[in-house]
Structure 1
Amino acid sequence: MSAADARGNDPHETAADDEPDAARDAGQPAASELIGAALGGAARRAGLDPAQATSTGHLVWRAMGGWRGILESVLPTLVFIVVWTVTVDPATGQGNLWLAVGLSVGLAVVFTLARLIGRSPAAAALGGLIATAAAAGLALWTGRAADNFILGLVTNGAYGTAALVSALIGWPLIGLAVGWLMNDGTAWRQDARKRRVFFWLTIGWAGLFALRLAVELPLFLTDQVTALGTLKLIMGLPLFAPMVAVTWLAVRGLYPKADAGASDV
């Protein structure tokens, strides 16, 4: 009986399942291990570690960064939207772009400095500052307020495409990250249930990014700045949080030992 016959007809398996692991045989890390380590490390820094016993609500709250993380994520964009909308000239339909981006970037600077002064992890705030400043610079350069949101659109497109492709070729990104976090490596690919769950979780994340892009891109192309910024906020943390919760609960179901002592609140 061939290996393919023994495996059966699993829609989530691909020819990649049979590829030789030459890199590991040569004592070098495989590409999947490097990607898993990068994704898993980022997830762990964000507080998303299935190996830690914690409640679902607490984990989601940590993933969002608590109140500080929420403010850092929401306020710069909110200030930009409010200032732009309030200063719009009815005759031209244009607001005060310099004031809007100036206050938005200023808030991001304040959040970053507050973390540095308090000696708390500043990576997220610093990343937010760089992204906010880059988007503001692009908007000022083009003179088009909607360009303040173009980096978010590109990011959603890139993340969504990466997630979708990884799932379709049999190496879902969620599986790679969880495999690294749980010291499972790529052994989960030999478990049909885990492979199926990781496939659909990754598809779910790809769908989230695609939904954001589908809603926001038409508004970007038609220069509807206020609507674009508002929907970016609505489709940000409010959709991110339940996706994190679903992912966490699914992973806990696959690795019940990691759930020992945790209260599901």
Structure 2
Amino acid sequence: MTTGPQPAAGVDTDPAEEAPLPSIAEQVSEQLGGWRGMVESSIPVLVFVLVNVLAELRPALISSLAVALAIAAIRLVQRRPIRHAVNGLFGLGVGAFIAYRSGDSKDFYLPGILYGIAVGVALLVSAAVRQPLVGWVWSVFAAGGKSEWRHDPRLVRTFVWLTVLWGVVWLAKVGVQAALYLADQDTALGVARLALGYPPYLLLLAITVWTVRRVTRDASPVPTTATSAS
């Protein structure tokens, strides 16, 4: 008895199906622009905090924006990706504009606080309607645009509770910053912005990657040996 047509030897399979998922370290590094990206995105805020303590608002704004522009220019000259630098520069620019118009240094952090509240609420709402944002982000950055997890009840539940976790942590850290903003604690607000920036994000990202990989591995079917019929 003949069998159906077999794939010809040497024919390449779809690399998207063959390629393994990047490691946890690789995915974290990609999302944050590597350790260099993390440090560079924190430097302008650190400069603003220090100069604002030692001098006045205007020098602090000029210094932080100048440092952010210099970092972006250096990356451009070195032909390195500037996506993270541009995103950070845009956020700094909006905050600097608001603070300059109001004359109050705490308003430099207001866009970040409002953005954090919006993200936290969006995460919790998406989990409530069982369209977890963490799952869709995973599809884009770790699954090559595929969304097979939508057909796996275990992964749906996993992404729902991971999205809730992200939302709760996001609102908690922005809540601390909002409390300092309302209390007019400018310097403490800057320190909190730095301390509550990457550390919680790194932890959440590592938990997400580890959990999804574990659930995916546990859900993989166990190969069975075929038995011959008598």
Q: Same fold (TM over 0.5)?
A: yes
For 1:222-241, list aligned pairs within 5 A. 222-241=183-202
| 2:47 alignment partner in structure 1 | 79
| 1:106 alignment partner in structure 2 | 66
Identity rate, percent: 34
CA separation of 1:132 and 1:138: change in aligned 2, threshold 3 A: same
| 1:24 alignment partner in structure 2 | none
Task: Provide Cα deviations, 1:182-236, integer angstroms capped at 9, x if missing partner.
Answer: 2684442332211110001111111121011210101111210000010111111
| 2:76 alignment partner in structure 1 | 116
Larger Rg: 2
For 1:73-222, list aligned pairs within 5 A. 73-87=41-55, 96-180=56-140, 181-182=142-143, 185-222=146-183
Give SS of 1:255's match.
helix
Give SS of 1:110's match.
helix
2:9 counterpart of 1:55: no
Give SS of 1:223's match.
coil
Aligned residues: 199
In 1, Cα distance between equivalents of 2:38 and 2:67: 13
Deviation of 1:117 after TM superposition, in Å, equals: 1.1
Check whether the contact 1:176–1:185 (CA below 8 A) recurs between aligned residues.
Answer: no
In the superposition, the TM-score normalised over structure 2's length comes to: 0.80
CA separation of 1:223 and 1:151: change in aligned 2, threshold 3 A: same
Deviation of 1:137 after TM superposition, in Å, equals: 1.2
Deviation of 1:114 after TM superposition, in Å, equals: 1.0
Point out where structure 1 has 5 or more consecutive residues left out of the alignment. 1-50, 88-95, 258-265
CA separation of 1:52 and 1:99: change in aligned 2, threshold 3 A: farther
What RMSD in Å do the two structures reach over aligned CA positions? Answer: 1.9
Give SS of 1:182's match.
coil
CA separation of 1:244 and 1:52: change in aligned 2, threshold 3 A: farther
Point out where structure 2 has 5 or more consecutive residues left out of the alignment. 1-18, 219-230
| 1:3 alignment partner in structure 2 | none
Q: Which has the higher contact order (CA 8 A, sep 6+)?
A: 1
Check whether the contact 2:41–2:84 (CA below 8 A) recurs between aligned residues.
Answer: no
Letter in 2 for 1:230: V
